[in-house]
Amino acid sequence: MKVKCKTGRWVVRMAMWLPLVVLSVVAPLSARAQADELAALRKDFPGLTERYGARLESRTAHYIFAIDISNSMKQYEQTVRNSLISFVNAVPDGDQISIIVMADRKQTDFLDNIMCATLNDAVRRAIVEALRSPRFSFSKDGSDGYTMTSRVLEAMNAVGSSDLTFIYMLTDFEYWTSEHRFDKRAEDWASLKSRLSEKHRGSLCKYGIELNFDKVKHPEAIFKPELDMIFGQLDYRQASSATLLSQWFGHIIDNIRANKINAMLKADWKMFVDSVNLRAKVANQQLKFRYDGPDTALVNGCRIVSTRMGNSHFCQADSAAGKLGKWTELGDYNYKRTFLPGWKKIPADSAEVALQLQSPYRDEIALLQALCNEDVASPDAVRLDYSTTVPVASKYTWNAKWHWAWWLLIVLVILVALAALVYMLFQHPENRSMNIIVRRDYDSFNKFVTGMPVTIGHGGDLAVDGAGWRLRLEAKRYYPLFFWNKTGYYVTLEEGLNAEVVSMIDNRTLTSVNLQGTTLLFPFNHSCLNYVKISEGGTVSKIEVTC
């Protein structure tokens, strides 16, 4: 008895310490497994892990499963049950889960009130028990997609629900209720859209797993368009057999952390894309494109591969590198130019542009999408290469082969030439009235004349007694643009030895005139600037002309 008593006490003590021993072994193994998984992620995705790794450890996710448990899904029952149990056991503590079963209206609800349940060991046991109970039996009638969607939104809006949300809808998406039969239009789907909060839109991953998709008999009852209207485009995957469905579950279980990174990446990408402004314009015979977006490390440039205008105008660029916030020239805008100057109205059009966004994470994003089985064609996927259509506003553009600046220069030259010609035609220096005075020490000779030319001195129109010289004063007109020849009054020494043109301002000799030589006396409209000085036999003659 004594031995038995000791043995009993030993068994009791072992029973008390066993959970702690198990915990001390399992916990380090779990932590080590998480560390190994994170190390593997860092090896494959060094940049993305650096960007999201710190958030990954504290980032909780909410997994919402909406499962069709009608009779038509019976072949998937065991696969869904086993896969959900494996999924619940694989998800780390702190993450949340909601399980919605869908049948007819009164039977569509949360399985055993599993709504936004934060996972720990006790919650896992409760979920596993509910999944193994008869309540999770694919034996119901109906497929009330409207109520199912309402329950999904209810789970998302629950207090404490993580904004990083994964929605998995497993059904054939064919609406049927005992009340409305196949008439999905009897429901007010639009009223559900407003219940999706903004905090979830940027961190929402939604998948539609199509079961029995080849057995749908009422296409008009398919409610996928309504789901896309409420949540945004779902990523639809087809599972034609329980085996394929099991493989899909195994895939998402193995890559929970990668899926979290992918979800955070897609949320950041959506914020970037929603803020992007794409513009195109025609300027200086060039089709130009501008890509404006917020500062983000995800994108550091872009390359424009090709372009095409919609209304038969074509513009091709082999490859044009561009920067965010900068206009990038794509090539000549193709329209028939004329030789003569003129403006052409470019009608409103659209440009098709193929873009390659440059990102330091390009290779990692492609690998992550492959690992997460991400469909790059889905609307919410991160797409660095895509084509888009950008409107081009109507405008007038220069249509001549020569640049408008050359034509402007030509017009200015013509106007200046015409103005100079008109000026020359209307100026008449030869018809001006002039007073000519010849001053000597002892006398002076004066003559008022109208019209040119006139001779002064020996035998001239203005005779000077005893003069052995003769000057000819005449007006000459020159085209103003020939600036080296000035329109004005010129003096020619027809007789005599020498004459000088002297400034009336400072009595400085400006030029000398020899026999038969001609020089400018003063320009037209600048009279009394200069005079002619002639010295002969000790007599100095000073010839002044006043207009």
Q: Closest Cα to residue 362, out of 302, 295, 304? A: 302
Q: What is the pLDDT of residue 426?
A: 83
- DSSP code string of 290-325: EEE----TT--EEEEEEEEESSS-----S-EEE-TT
**Residue whose tokens read 């997994």:** 63
Quote the pLDDT of residue 398: 79
The label of the residue with tokens 């429901």 reads 187
Write down the residue that tokens 């919402």 correspond to: 64
CA distance 474 to 329: 64
Structure tokens at 483: 């600036």
Query: Alpha-carbon distance 48 to 482, whole Å?
Result: 75
d(CA 529, CA 532): 11
- Edge to edge, the sheet with strand 498-503 lists 444-450, 433-439, 539-546, 530-536, 498-503, 509-514
Burial class (CB in 10 A: 0-12, 13-18, 19+), 501: buried
Burial class (CB in 10 A: 0-12, 13-18, 19+), 211: buried
Q: What is the pLDDT of residue 252?
A: 85
Q: Are 101 and 111 in contact (CB under 8 A)?
A: yes
Q: How far apart are CA 384 and CA 362, in angstroms?
A: 8
Predicted pLDDT at 3: 36
Q: Can you tell me which residue has the tokens 């794409």?
A: 278
Task: Yes or no: say if 119 and 96 are a contact pair by the CB < 8 Å rule.
Answer: yes
DSSP 372: T
CB 100 within 8 A of CB 66: yes
Residue 185 confidence (pLDDT): 95
Beta bridge partners, 356, equal: 303, 385
Using DSSP's 3-state secondary structure scheme, residue 520 falls into strand
What is the per-residue pLDDT for 281?
85
Cα 161 to Cα 49: distance, rounded to the nearest angstrom: 25
SS percent in the chain: helix, strand, coil, step 5: 35, 30, 30
Rounded to whole angstroms, the Cα distance separating 519 from 370 reads 94
Q: Which residue do the tokens 């039969």 mark?
A: 181
Question: pTM, whole model, 2 decimals?
Answer: 0.59
**Residue 414 confidence (pLDDT):** 93
- Residues in Cβ contact with 195 at an 8 Å cutoff, skipping those fewer than 6 apart: 150, 153, 157
Give the span between the Cα atoms of 406 and 442, in whole angstroms.
65
pLDDT at 527: 73
HEC readout, 180-240 = CECCHHHCCCHHHHCCCCHHHHCCEEEEEEEECHHHCCCHHHECHHHHHHHHCCCEEEEEC
Confidence at residue 511, expressed as pLDDT on a 0 to 100 scale:
94
pLDDT per residue as tens, the chain (547 positions): 333 333 344 433 444 443 333 333 333 434 555 566 667 788 889 999 889 888 877 889 999 999 999 998 999 999 999 999 999 998 989 999 999 999 999 999 999 999 999 999 999 999 999 999 999 999 999 999 999 999 999 999 999 998 889 999 999 999 999 999 999 999 999 999 999 988 787 678 889 999 987 788 899 999 999 999 999 888 888 888 899 999 889 888 888 888 888 888 988 888 888 888 888 888 776 788 888 888 888 988 888 777 777 665 655 555 567 677 788 877 776 667 788 888 888 788 888 888 888 899 999 999 998 888 777 777 778 998 888 888 888 888 877 888 888 989 999 999 999 998 898 888 888 888 889 999 987 789 999 988 889 999 998 899 998 898 999 999 998 988 888 888 899 999 999 989 999 998 899 999 999 999 999 998 887 777 899 999 888 889 999 998 7
